Amino acid sequence: MTKQKFETALQQLTPRIREVLELFLAGKSYRVIAQSLYIGGNTVRQYMMKVYQAFGLENSSGLPSQKVQLIALFAQYKPELLHKLTVIESQNQVSSIITASNTSISTKQNTCTNEYDPNFIGRDDAISPIDEHINLSRDNLFVNLMAYDDTWVGRQNTIQNLKQKIITSSRIVILTGITGIGKTALAEKLYTELTSEKNWNQLLRVNFDNQDQSDFGSFVTVTDRWLQECGILVTPEDRQDIPRLQKKLIDYVVENCCLIIIDSLEWILKGNQEYGWSEFKDREWVNFFRLFLSQLY
């Protein structure tokens, strides 16, 4: 993007969106932004999506995240707005799966956590901060945690219970609950806990609520991006051969301590009000989960 186009995009933002953007660039979390401007966490996310759209930033395979692209733009054209501690997220980001579906986490036994459990994180704690990067892995990678920050307190019974399941018998843990209750924050908290138990040096994730691409729920699209984040070469032939693509991903998670966080899983399911939404639109996800469970038993 040229400087002129950058300035034009910046000028087109409404004053309110500009306020959100400036706080974001100053290193403030979504939670702090929401509290400072007296708006909801979802509103902050919506405003940031409008910022990404204004600057033409895409969230697609082969590209850094929209956040990274945005920070890079301002580092080039408006560095004075960037907080000095803003850290570009690591490109190395999952062998358990956390799924968050309005679902979050990974198990051999499918474990559902009730959102009404008194140990479960409350709605007020769920506004997503995104800039508290915590150095977690043995390779000193900065992992981008979207919803969890180090002010977390409580929910120890739930955390210990789920952590024990993941460390021992579970490969897929499913967290269910209404939007904003804190499923993603709990999933990320579990990741921080797991890093102290084993060398969980990979975190892969996808949020299916970010529907900025027509193929956003495609197994091939998501797997392609995950493999590239793991530094694995993906050829055009791989993309045409789905079993080969599946095998590459499975081989990686079998050989490495990875955690996969899947947010808003319900967006890639199909069904109806009467019978519920329980089938994957892309059946390759079914094949992947079957293979995942069979290989990791």
Given a contact cutoff of 8 angstroms between Cβ atoms, the answer to whether 6 and 55 are in contact is: yes
Predicted pLDDT at 76: 87
User: What does the block give as tokens for 28?
Assistant: 């403030």
Element (H, E) at 4: helix 3-12
Given a contact cutoff of 8 angstroms between Cβ atoms, the answer to whether 186 and 175 are in contact is: yes
In the structure, how many helices (H) and strands (E) does the chain have? 11, 9
The Cβ of residue 160 has, within 10 Å, a number of other Cβ atoms equal to: 12
Predicted pLDDT at 9: 92
Predicted pLDDT at 284: 92
> In 211-223, which positions are buried (b, 16+ CB within 10 angstroms) versus exposed (e)?
eeeeebbbbbbbb
Per residue in 174-218, pLDDT tens?
Answer: 888 777 777 888 888 887 777 766 666 678 888 887 655 555 678
Predicted pLDDT at 147: 60
Q: For the chain, where do the domains classified as CATH 1.10.10.10 start and end?
A: 3-81
Predicted pLDDT at 25: 86
What is the model's pTM? 0.53
User: What does the block give as tokens for 192?
Assistant: 């921080």
Rounded distance, CA 259 to CA 200, Å? 7
Given a contact cutoff of 8 angstroms between Cβ atoms, the answer to whether 90 and 150 are in contact is: no
Predicted pLDDT at 54: 92
Rounded distance, CA 45 to CA 255, Å? 35
Given a contact cutoff of 8 angstroms between Cβ atoms, the answer to whether 131 and 29 are in contact is: yes
Rounded distance, CA 237 to CA 176, Å? 37
User: What does the block give as tokens for 222?
Assistant: 């998501």
Q: Low-confidence residues of the chain, pLDDT below 50?
A: 84-95, 103-143
| Cα separations in angstroms, 12 against 6, 20, 26, 140 | 10, 14, 20, 39
The set of residues, in sequence order, having a beta carbon less than 8 Å from that of 164 and lying 6+ positions away, is none
SS3 content of the chain, % helix, strand, coil (to 5): 45, 15, 40
Rounded distance, CA 267 to CA 207, Å? 9
Rounded distance, CA 31 to CA 19, Å? 14
Per residue in 12-42, pLDDT tens?
Answer: 898 889 989 988 888 787 778 877 887 777 6
CATH topology of domain 3-81: Arc Repressor Mutant, subunit A (1.10.10)
